[in-house]
Amino acid sequence: MSQQNKENTQSKACPKKILDEIGSSFVMGMIGGGAWNFLKGARSSPVGDRLKGGFYKMKYQSLKTGGSFAVWSGIFASLECSLVHFRKKEDIWNRVFAGALTGGILAARSGTKEATKAAFVGGFFMFFVEYSTNLLNTMVEKYKEKTEKIENRK
């Protein structure tokens, strides 16, 4: 595929990718936040009302959690697509820098010092995730190669 076609494909895919990321993150945040808030609400309720307290907390907090996940994911995906566009390459560093910038942007209201800390945490977290994913993929590929060699011997 030529460089021009690759760029066009990526630029067309990015708006859809951003919306997909926002939607899926909202759902994941709502489900995870719902479970977490249900447990939190049940634990903090009186003994006779634990189930009711859990559902009440879940009902009012899971949407907030889902919204927070969606905002983080939307900013991250937008920044990642922007970095891919401006750097003209798609590699691990786009996600790492997008994570750092996302952390910094979301903490910007707390001041420069806190935004810098959040940027380092976001960048480090994304580096850890990307490195772990690449390491795991490499291990799986080596395992598949070994099993294919064993199967070919038979």
Please tell me the predicted confidence (pLDDT) of residue 1.
Answer: 43
Please tell me the predicted confidence (pLDDT) of residue 12.
Answer: 56
For residues 48 and 128, give the distance between their C-alpha atoms in angstroms, rounded to a whole number.
Answer: 44
Please tell me the predicted confidence (pLDDT) of residue 14.
Answer: 84
For residues 73 and 76, give the distance between their C-alpha atoms in angstroms, rounded to a whole number.
Answer: 5
On whether the CB atoms of residues 20 and 70 are closer than 8 A, the answer is no
DSSP codes of every residue in 80-123: HHHHHHHH---SHHHHHHHHHHHHHHHTGGG-HHHHHHHHHHHH
- Model confidence, pTM: 0.78
Neighbours of 47 (CB within 10 A): 5
Distances (CA, A) of 16 to 21, 56, 77, 85, 88: 9, 34, 10, 15, 19
Neighbours of 30 (CB within 10 A): 20
Helix (H, G, I), strand (E, B) or coil at 69: helix
- CA nearest 80: which of 66, 107, 103, 101? 101
**Residues near 112 by Cβ (< 8 Å), separated by ≥ 6?**
none
pLDDT (tens, 9 = 90+) of the chain, 154 residues, equals: 444 444 444 555 788 889 999 999 999 999 999 999 999 999 998 988 999 999 999 999 999 999 999 999 999 999 999 999 998 888 889 999 999 999 999 999 999 999 999 999 999 999 999 999 999 999 999 998 888 887 877 6
For residues 73 and 87, give the distance between their C-alpha atoms in angstroms, rounded to a whole number.
Answer: 21
